[in-house]
Structure formats: structure tokens, C-alpha cells
Amino acid sequence: MQINNVCVIGGSGLVGRHIVHLLAAQGRRVRVPTRNRERAKELIVLPTVDVVQADVHNDEELKHMLEGMDAAINLVGILHEERSGDFRRAHVELPLRIARMCASLGVKRMVHMSALNADPDGPSSYLRSKGEAEAALRQTAQELALSIFRPSVIFGREDKFLNLFAKLLKYFPVLFLASPQARFQPVSVEDVAHAFVLSLDRLETFGKSYDVCGPRVYTLRELVEYVAQITGRRRRIIGLSDSLSYLQAWAMEFLPVKLMTRDNYYSMKVDSVCSCGFPEIFGFKPTALEAVVPLYLTGGTPRGRYRWFRFKAGR
Ligand SMILES: NC(=O)c1ccc[n+]([C@@H]2O[C@H](COP(=O)([O-])OP(=O)(O)OC[C@H]3O[C@@H](n4cnc5c(N)ncnc54)[C@H](OP(=O)(O)O)[C@@H]3O)[C@@H](O)[C@H]2O)c1
């Protein structure tokens, strides 16, 4: 299958930007629909990338985005609902509409982003909606060569996970941490993007799902302590009991900015860890968190910036 034209839906986000850069570097033509072109401005300058303001929930606009494409990559995802039904709309209805539209337009390849522990019977609406989408896509998308990725939490320069803790540690002398014993196996955004792009034209990945994790398992407390250590913040981190974690998540739902919800608390009820290593088919080993995170979390200091430039230059 020759794949020259790729529509990356959700291409303006953390993972999407990395995928689009890799595809453009290979000389493929990429179309990125976004609700806000400003948000994707770093992609606009790439020569083979077309960033288009579009509403992918509208059939006509979605059709327009997928016409002439050889493959669709779907990365649309949300962590919190603004209104009830948002998870279903973004995680279930949209991927199914993309798959059906691909089938009707003769787009033969789709790569879909799910999440580790996605399960129609999972503990949170987030995981259930991701799980329902996987099940429905496998049924609906039989004419499509479909691959699904299921990562643990993703780290990288603009992640919303470790960066959030770095910010909280900067402003609060004491951090009350919900679900401190929740376990994660964080994976680098560059590794996830690399695997996506490698999978695009590899026949062996068609019809397969891949759990993707980094090399090490950490508790949430260990991750937050690590962020405090490398950013040089001496802070008290107080782990909350299960019932206080729930209460904190509930109270945080009333904040104007959503940092955590009860749904996130429920997601952390299952360990976000892989039962086997990084998929061998991609031919590389996952990057250690310790090799990358200090480069961007300490990036504000002259020494941190220097380390980051050396890293990007491969020195
Ligand atoms: N980051 C993680 O730790 C992690 C872990 C496991 C799985 N995942 C999954 O990986 C995918 C990408 O994650 P990410 O961290 O790159 O996400 P992100 O940075 O938040 O980007 C999300 C993308 O989805 C689009 N989007 C969001 N809501 C939308 C909506 N209602 N309608 C249409 N488009 C919408 C956004 O596009 P515009 O705003 O430009 O329209 C944006 O490009 C998601 O499916 C996520 O669930 C992420």
C-alpha cells in the first residue's frame, strides 16, 4: 500500500505535532484539520502540511478532509467532559464516523489512538468510551486496514502531566496528592509518534493493537517526587487516602480550570502499566523518562536550556 497523503485528525496536539513533523520530514503530504488554526501554527510553516480550520463532527467537512487521502490517523481525545456526552462524541462517535467515511471514500488505512486499559467495562467514562470505540471500530472497520495504539501516560516537552506537577510544585509549598499509589509506565511522545509513523505502511501491523509503555513503572508519588527533585523544589508531598482522593477530585470539579475530576480518579483505579515490553515490531527500545524530562522541566534555567540544545543536536 502506497501512503503519500495522510489526514491527521487531532494533529495539532501533543502527539499529533510530533507525528506531523515526522510525516513531513518523510516528504508525505499531510492534512491537519483543527478547530483553531492558531493552535497549530508551528505546523503551518511545514512545506508539505496543510492545516485547515474544520469541524470534523460535521459530515460534509469531514468528507472534505478525507477526500484524496491514502490514510487517516485519529488522535482526538479529551481528559475531561465539559458537558455530559462529550466522551462519547469525541471518543466513540467521531472515530466511527471517520472509519465509515474512510470506507466510503476508498481510504484504506486508519491508525487510531486509544489508551492503555481502554475497556467497555472499565472503571471510568474515559476508559469505557475508549474501549467502546476499539470494539466498534474492529466491527465496523473491516474493509479498513486498522491499527490501534494504547499508550500509558505520555511525557514530552509540552505534556500536560509532568508539566502540571512542575507548576503545582512551583506554587504550593505542600502538595496533597490524590491516588499516590496509582502506577504508571510513562512513554515518550517521540517514541509513540515514531511507532505510529512506522506502522503506517507496515502490513504486519494491520489489524493489530499495541499497548505502548516506557521502560519503567512508577507510582504517582514517585513521579511527583522526581519532578520536585529535578526542578529543585523542596516540598512536602502528602499522599491522600482513597476517600480523601475521591473528595479532592470531586472538589476540583468546581474549579474554573479542570485539573482533576472524579472520572480521572476512577481511571487511576487500574494500573496504567503494560504486561509486556515495547512492541518489538518497531525495532527500537523506549526512551527512559530520566533521559528526557530534566531537559524540558529545567529548560527555564541557562543550564537546562544548554542541555536541551545539546540533546536536540544529538550531542
Ligand atoms: N497524553 C497522554 O498522556 C495520553 C495517554 C494515553 C492516550 N492518549 C490519547 O492520545 C491522543 C492524543 O493525545 P494528546 O495528548 O496529543 O492530546 P492533546 O494534546 O490534548 O490534543 C488533542 C487533539 O484533539 C483535538 N480535539 C480535542 N477535542 C476535540 C473535539 N471535541 N473535536 C475535535 N477535535 C478535538 C485537538 O484539536 P484542535 O484543538 O486543534 O481542534 C487536538 O489536536 C488522545 O486520543 C488521548 O486520549 C494520550
Q: β-pairing, 183-184 with 218-219?
A: antiparallel
Residue among 191, 238, 189, 187 nearest 213 (CA): 187
Kindly list the structural domains of the chain, giving each domain's residue range(s) and its CATH number in brackets, ordered by start. 5-155+186-212 (3.40.50.720)
pLDDT in tens, the chain (315 residues): 899 999 999 999 999 999 999 999 999 999 999 999 988 989 999 999 999 999 999 999 999 999 999 999 999 999 999 999 999 999 999 999 999 999 999 999 999 999 999 999 999 999 999 999 999 999 876 789 999 999 999 999 999 999 999 999 999 999 999 999 999 999 999 999 999 999 999 999 999 999 999 999 999 999 999 999 999 999 999 999 999 999 999 999 999 888 999 999 999 999 999 999 999 999 999 999 999 999 999 875 666 666 556 655 666
Residues 6+ apart with CB under 8 A from 258: 79, 80, 252
Q: How far apart are CA 176 and CA 220, in angstroms?
A: 12
Q: How far apart are CA 255 and CA 229, in angstroms?
A: 28
Task: Please give the pLDDT value at position 305.
Answer: 63
Task: Please give the pLDDT value at position 140.
Answer: 78
> Cβ(92)–Cβ(129) under 8 Å?
yes
Q: How many CB atoms lie within 10 A of CB 18?
A: 24
Q: Which three cell numbers stand for residue 60?
A: 460534509
Task: Please give the pLDDT value at position 143.
Answer: 81
Q: How far apart are CA 15 and CA 122, in angstroms?
A: 24
Task: Choose one of 19, 35, 53, 65 to mutate for the ligand 1 pocket test, by most ligand atoms within 8 angstroms of C-beta.
Answer: 35
How many whole angstroms from 174 Cα to the centroid of ligand 1?
A: 30
User: What is the model's pTM?
Assistant: 0.94
Task: Please give the pLDDT value at position 258.
Answer: 87
Residues flanking ligand 1, CB < 6 Å: 10, 12-16, 34-36, 39-40, 56, 75-78, 90, 113, 115, 151, 153-154, 161
Task: Please give the pLDDT value at position 85.
Answer: 96
